[in-house]
Amino acid sequence: MDQRISIVTLGTNDMDRAVAFWEAMGWPRRAKAFTAIAMFQCGPVAFAIYPFDKLADDCGMTDRGPGFGGFTIAHNLPSKAAVDALLETAVANGATLQKPAHEAFWGGYSGYFLDPDGHPWEVAYNPFVAMGPNGEMLLPD
């Protein structure tokens, strides 16, 4: 298996609200011919929003449990100030501040917001990992 993630798809209970949130965050919708799913280009990865019930049905899962789902999505930035600014932008556009930015136990700086469907997004500055020109993390060997 190639070391690659092609698409990250999150379920939503309100497609219009979810699309409006991500467009307000500066992510233009792409592949608009696909009307049942909203897709956004995120560097080499596609990010998609799809109705929760249809996504659960597609993967053979029907129960949506409350609380933490066992994963987070991280958006790394080149500075602490950029972390603070992005968290403010997310909240101004309908996200919930889950955990304010702080000096993290691992030596970086991070905080969390919940998107309008409750998915946890970490916004972080990691001084130990370089970032490439397109925002990709350049992990050391």
Domain 1-59 superfamily per CATH = 2,3-Dihydroxybiphenyl 1,2-Dioxygenase, domain 1 (3.10.180.10)
Residue 97, class by beta-carbon neighbours within 10 Å (0-12 exposed, 13-18 middle, 19+ buried)? middle
**Which tens digits make up the pLDDT trace of 7-61?**
999 999 999 999 999 999 999 999 999 999 999 998 888 999 999 889 888 888 8
> Which one is predicted more confidently, 17 or 66?
17
Query: CA triplet 88, 131, 115: central angle to 5 degrees?
Result: 30
> Which one is predicted more confidently, 40 or 136?
40
Q: Where are the beta strands (DSSP E) in 1-141?
A: 7-12, 29-30, 38-42, 45-51, 73-76, 96-103, 109-114, 120-125, 130-131, 137-138
Domain 71-129 superfamily per CATH = 2,3-Dihydroxybiphenyl 1,2-Dioxygenase, domain 1 (3.10.180.10)
> Please, are residues 79 and 123 in contact by the beta-carbon 8 Å criterion?
no
In sequence order, what are the residues at sequence separation of 6 or more whose Cβ sits closer than 8 angstroms to the Cβ of residue 139? 129
Residue 87: strand, helix, or coil: helix
**Which tens digits make up the pLDDT trace of 76-104?**
999 999 999 999 999 999 999 999 999 99
> Please, are residues 49 and 37 in contact by the beta-carbon 8 Å criterion?
yes
Band the pLDDT of 65: cuts 50, 70, 90.
low
> Which of 91, 94, 133 minimizes the C-alpha distance to 123?
91
Backbone φ and ψ of 38, nearest 5°: -105, 130
Residue 121 has pLDDT above 90, yes or no: yes
Q: CATH 3.10.180.10 residue ranges in the chain?
A: 1-59, 71-129
* Global confidence as pTM: 0.87
